[in-house]
C-alpha cells in the first residue's frame, strides 16, 4: 500500500470497527441486494408476456458472451455484498449481546429486539434458499435444465417445469414470505440504525417498507402460484 493511502485505509478500518460503521455496511449492502431483488423480479415478470419467448430472449441477452465481463462483475458485487452483509450482521449481533445486561429488557426496545431476532433467523433461511435456487435454476443440479442453444437457457420452460413439483413451489413461496419479513424490517430499520429516525417520519417509512416488501413477495409468489394452479400455460 502506498504511504498516501495508508491513513485512508486506517480511517476506514476505524470506521468499520465502530458499531455505526457496521450499520453503514449493512445498509449499503442491503440496498445493493434489494436493488438486485427488484431488478430480478422485473426480469422474471416477463414470464407473463404474451410473447412466450420474451423472457428467454432476455436471458440470452444476459448470457451473451460479449457481456460476460459485466455479468461476472455483477455476480462479484453481489457475492461481496452478501458476505459483508452477513459478516456485519453477525458482528453487530454479538456486540449487542455483549452490551446487553443479563435479564434486562427495556420496554421501548421490544419492537426493535423483535425485528432483530426476526432478521437473525429469516436471513440464514433466505441464504439457504438462494443456494438452493442457484442449484435449481442456474446450475441445473436439482432438476435438468433445458437450453435453446449455447448460452440460451429456456428459462420459461425451466421455471414452469420446476414449479410443477409442489414441494419446489411450496419451498419458494415460504422463502418469499420470509423475504417479505426480512425486507420489511431491513428497510425501515436501515433508516433507524443510521440515525435517520424521527417519531413523525418513522410510521411513514414503515408503511413504505411494508408496501415495497409485500409487492416484491407478491410478484415472486405469483410465479409458482400461477404455475401450480395451471394459470400459466406452458
Ligand atoms: C419465484 C421467484 C423467482 C424466480 C422465478 C427466479 C428465477 C430465476 C432464474 C430463471 C434464474 C436463472 C437465470 C439465468 O440463468 O439467466 C435465477 C437466478 C438467480 N436468482 Fe432468481 N428467481 C426468483 C427469486 C429470486 C430471489 C427472491 C432471489 C434473491 C433473494 C433470487 C436470486 C437469484 C440469483 C442470485 C441468481 C443467480 C444469478 C446469476 O447466475 O448470475 N431469485 N432466478
- List of residues 6+ apart from 10 with CB closer than 8 A: none
Summarize pLDDT for 60-115 with one digit per residue, the tens. Answer: 999 999 999 999 999 999 999 999 999 999 998 888 777 766 655 554 455 566 66
Q: Is the CB of residue 179 below 6 angstroms from any atom belonging to ligand 1? A: yes
* Single pTM value for the model: 0.91
Which DSSP string corresponds to 96-147? HHHHSPTT---GGGHHHHHHHHHHHHHHHHHHHHHHHHHHHHTS-SSSPPPE
* pLDDT of res. 102: 60
**d(CA 138, ligand 1 centre) in Å:** 8
Count of beta carbons in the 10 Å neighbourhood of residue 166:
10
Instruction: Kindly compute the dihedral angle of the four CA atoms of residues 213, 34, 27, 79, in this order, to the nearest 10 degrees.
Output: 140
**d(CA 159, ligand 1 centre) in Å:** 10
To test the pocket of ligand 1, the residue of 34, 73, 80, 137 to mutate (highest count of ligand atoms within 8 Å of its CB) is: 137
Q: Is the CB of residue 133 below 6 angstroms from any atom belonging to ligand 1? A: yes
**d(CA 174, ligand 1 centre) in Å:** 16
Q: Is the CB of residue 162 below 6 angstroms from any atom belonging to ligand 1? A: no
* pLDDT of res. 94: 87
Q: Is the CB of residue 125 below 6 angstroms from any atom belonging to ligand 1? A: no
Alpha carbon distance 188, 156 (integer Å) = 34
**Can you list the positions of beta strands (E) in the chain?**
147-149, 152-153
| Summary mean pLDDT of the chain | 90
User: For ligand 1, what atom is nearest to the CA of residue 224?
Assistant: 1
Q: Is the CB of residue 60 below 6 angstroms from any atom belonging to ligand 1? A: no
Is 227 in contact with 186 (CB distance < 8 Å)? no
**pLDDT confidence tier of residue 1, bands split at 50, 70 and 90:** low
pLDDT at 32 over 60: yes
Place of cell 455483549: 98
* pLDDT of res. 98: 77
**Cα 45 to the center of its chain, rounded Å:** 17
Instruction: Kindly compute the dihedral angle of the four CA atoms of residues 40, 43, 44, 45, in this order, to the nearest 10 degrees.
Output: 120
Alpha carbon distance 184, 4 (integer Å) = 42
Q: Whose CA is nearest to atom 9 of ligand 1?
A: 137
Amino acid at each position: 500500500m502506498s504511504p498516501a493511502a495508508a491513513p485512508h485505509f486506517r480511517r476506514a478500518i476505524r470506521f468499520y470497527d465502530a458499531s455505526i460503521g457496521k450499520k453503514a455496511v449493512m445498509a449499503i449492502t442491503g440496498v445493493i441486494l434489494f436493488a438486485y431483488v427488484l431488478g430480478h423480479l422485473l426480469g422474471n415478470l416477463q414470464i407473463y408476456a404474451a410473447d412466450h419467448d420474451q423472457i428467454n430472449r432476455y436471458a440470452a441477452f444476459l448470457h451473451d458472451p460479449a457481456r460476460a465481463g459485466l455479468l461476472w462483475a455483477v455476480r462479484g458485487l453481489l457475492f461481496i455484498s452478501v458476505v459483508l452483509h452477513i459478516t456485519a450482521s453477525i458482528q453487530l449481533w454479538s456486540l449487542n449481546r455483549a452490551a446487553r445486561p443479563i435479564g434486562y429488557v427495556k420496554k421501548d426496545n421490544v419492537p426493535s429486539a423483535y425485528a432483530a431476532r426476526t432478521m437473525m433467523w429469516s436471513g440464514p433461511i433466505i441464504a439457504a434458499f438462494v443456494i438452493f435456487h442457484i442449484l435449481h435454476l442456474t446450475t441445473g443440479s436439482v432438476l435438468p435444465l433445458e437450453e435453446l442453444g449455447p448460452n440460451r437457457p429456456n428459462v420459461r420452460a425451466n421455471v414452469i417445469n420446476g414449479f410443477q413439483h409442489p414441494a419446489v413451489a411450496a419451498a419458494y413461496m415460504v422463502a418469499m414470505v420470509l423475504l417479505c419479513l426480512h425486507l420489511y424490517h431491513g428497510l425501515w430499520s436501515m433508516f433507524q440504525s443510521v440515525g435517520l429516525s424521527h417519531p413523525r417520519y418513522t410510521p411513514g417509512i414503515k408503511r413504505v417498507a411494508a408496501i415495497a416488501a409485500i409487492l416484491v413477495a407478491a410478484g415472486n409468489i405469483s410465479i409458482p402460484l400461477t404455475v401450480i394452479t395451471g394459470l400459466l400455460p406452458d
